[in-house]
Amino acid sequence: MSTANSPALSGPTSGGEIAGKAPPPWLALGSTVASESIQALGRRLVPPPAALMTMTVGYQLTSRAISAAAELGLADHLATAPGTVEALAEAVGADAGALARLLRLLELAGIVRHRRDGRIELTRLGAPLRGDHPQSVRDWCRYLGADWHWELWADLDASVRDGRTAYERRFGTDFFSWFGVHPDEAQVFDAAMRSFSSLVDGPVVKACNLRGSRTAVDIAGGSGALLAALLRAHPGLHGTLFDQPAVVERAQADGPLLADDVRSRVAFESGDMFSAVPEGRDAYLMKWILHDWDDERAAAILAGIAAAAPRGSRLLLIEMLIGPGRATGPARQLDMAMLVLTGGHERTGKDFHALLNAAGFEMRAIRRTASPMHVIEGVRR
């Protein structure tokens, strides 16, 4: 989402896990298809009532239990060595009996395992729940499990009925305005977005075509993580981070763009992307921005970029895509999240083609990455 910018795989090492090289797109997609096909087969083999009951209680395992583990910091305490339930309970401030029950459920999910000596150890799957893991998803899980986020999903049926977001219905405001007056919750959300970015930015950078570009601007670029990665991949490129004043101020105070190897090639500009964006750049980038908005607002953003972009300049949109039929990927789940949270929606390739064409861009390519994201490339006519 716009406050900051299936995950790349990681491999085992001594003392835990480090980020592995991103798999090629065909392997990432193939793994996802195989996994979902196995799940679909399992559902067909189970009587429908039992399958539906299993699906409806799945949130207790796949979301709430894992979010609780992230909130308690269980993976951080198990990172160096296995421990007993009693020692772990004391370390995280939990009731030993209740924690033992949670650990049994987490073992079923493959997050931890019980050793023969009675101690609990973290698995390869559970390792990214550590805060210090290079591809940590701890903050993402904390955000999804936060009570103020979780309760909004109780409004899904109401949002389907009237098309309004849960924020509008419950709080009388929009998603971004609500975070503007809830700074603690905004920090949790920002951390979740950084967590997501750490998983997708590497594959995205490889798919971004910036050949011949000397200047680029990342619109609503958040902390600047993606822009920093692009500058490292293209030593001759100069980049501008463009976002709201408060966001740019935070990025200038403490962000990835302050690193010694990119700082000299960075500029910071603040403003409102619905009013005007920096002019005259060779490339314009937006990661996970347009999905926050309905078609009218998305068209307004693209029209503003077209007004600022020289003829022949490149537009790179990093978004999820809804595939045809029963195509795999998380875009359909995110589409429901946009319905409940922001009022935007995920789109198909044809949807983006229509938006770009109407704004004055010619679509040149859609590139799949070794992550859930696609890079949609257009050129200013």
33 against 280, higher pLDDT: 280
* Active-site annotation, residues: 291
The rounded distance, in Å, linking the Cα atoms of 67 and 75 is: 12
The rounded distance, in Å, linking the Cα atoms of 227 and 234 is: 10
138 within 8 A of 322, measured Cβ to Cβ:
no
- Nearest CA to 189 among 49, 51, 3? 3
**CATH level 3 topology of 199-380:** Rossmann fold (3.40.50)
Quick: pLDDT tens for 269-308.
999 999 999 999 999 999 999 999 999 999 999 999 999 9
* Entry pTM: 0.86
Residue 37: which pLDDT band, with cuts at 50, 70 and 90? confident
- DSSP assignment of 201-262, as one string? HHHHHHH---TT-SEEEEET-TTSHHHHHHHHH-TT-EEEEEE-HHHHHHHHHSSGGGSTTT
The rounded distance, in Å, linking the Cα atoms of 200 and 221 is: 14
The rounded distance, in Å, linking the Cα atoms of 335 and 331 is: 6
Domain residue ranges of the chain, discontinuous segments joined by +: 57-130, 199-380
Give the largest CA-CA distance in the chain.
68
Quick: pLDDT tens for 310-369.
999 999 999 999 988 777 778 999 999 999 999 999 999 999 999 999 999 999 999 999
Lowest-pLDDT choice from 77-81, 204-208, 329-333? 329-333
Mean pLDDT of the 123-150 span: 95
Task: Indicate the average pLDDT of the chain.
Answer: 89
Architecture per CATH, domain 57-130, reads as Orthogonal Bundle (1.10)
